[in-house]
A and B are shown apart, each in its own frame.
Chain A
Amino acid sequence: GAVVSQHPSRVICKSGTSVKIECRSLDFQATTMFWYRQFPKQSLMLMATSNEGSKATYEQGVEKDKFLINHASLTLSTLTVTSAHPEDSSFYICSARDPVQGATYSPLHFGNGTRLTVT
């Protein structure tokens, strides 16, 4: 079945550094990928929709200059957390929908998530 790979699975960085997270669709082409963030004991919150070849669409309250998204190919989207701070520590998950299955009824396939800890 469709697989989405996310890397790294865990990262610890110092405050002020930038962290890049990669999301790859392994056996399908994803024109759209989604980035979520999840704080402990809370639900997934959509941060942005990544569109191949164009600018990402950010949800209200998400700073586009802080969370840089690049979707340069049909199989790769990256999220860069710039100048990370401890409050950015969270679980970041990407997802994509296999377009072959149809846009309306196909479920999302998730990456295995990246646990970011900013010290």
Chain B
Amino acid sequence: RKEVEQDPGPFNVPEGATVAFNCTYSNSASQSFFWYRQDCRKEPKLLMSVYSSGNEDGRFTAQLNRASQYISLLIRDSKLSDSATYLCVVKANDMRFGAGTRLTVKP
């Protein structure tokens, strides 16, 4: 089993749609959690950290469920510019990346 697993995707959604990604992790000692986005042929960029109580940043909402060992990312009112690969990142002793979920937002 992979340490960090994500929805395989790809997700193809129309503009304005709401889309959710899930990510599960296997190491119960994981301490911190992040969502990164990666555009094609570019380096990952931090989208948001994920806090225990859940957190929101504009159209983006992240949730953490430690008991079930999963995190989620919700994107509301999706924009064309949201098209990217979203990486779930979990830190225990070091950072572990999920394989990423590809999102394409279409007009």
Chain A residues at the B interface, C-beta cutoff of 8 Å: 34, 36, 42-46, 49, 91, 93, 95, 104-105, 107-113, 115
User: Cβ of A49: which chain B residues have Cβ within 8 Å of it?
Assistant: 94
User: Cβ of A46: which chain B residues have Cβ within 8 Å of it?
Assistant: 94-97
* Distance between Cα atoms of A38 and B32 in the complex (Å): 23
Contact of B42 among A34, A107, A113 (CB under 8 A): A113
* Distance between Cα atoms of A44 and B100 in the complex (Å): 9
- Total A-B pairs, Cβ < 8 A: 46
B16: CB under 8 A from chain A? no
Chain B, residues 14-43, CB within 8 Å of chain A (1/0): the string is 000000000000000001101010000111
* Distance between Cα atoms of A111 and B100 in the complex (Å): 19
User: Cβ of A107: which chain B residues have Cβ within 8 Å of it?
Assistant: 34, 36, 46, 49, 89
Interface residues on B, range: 20 to 34
Q: Is the interface of B mostly helix, strand, loop or mixed?
A: strand
* Distance between Cα atoms of A32 and B61 in the complex (Å): 30
Given contacts A110-B44, A113-B42, A115-B41, contact A44 B97 (CB under 8 A): yes
Chain B, residues 41-62, CB within 8 Å of chain A (1/0): the string is 1111110010000000000000
6 pairs from A and B in contact (CB 8 Å cutoff) = A36-B97, A46-B94, A105-B31, A107-B34, A108-B46, A110-B45
Contact B32 A44 (CB under 8 A): no
Contact of B32 among A42, A93, A105, A115 (CB under 8 A): A105
Question: Closest approach, in angstroms, between the C-beta of B92 and any C-beta of chain A?
Answer: 10
* Distance between Cα atoms of A91 and B34 in the complex (Å): 22
The interface centre, meaning the residue of A91, A95, A108, A111 with most chain B CB atoms within 10 A of its CB, is A108
* Distance between Cα atoms of A93 and B44 in the complex (Å): 9
Contact B94 A44 (CB under 8 A): no
Contact B43 A42 (CB under 8 A): no
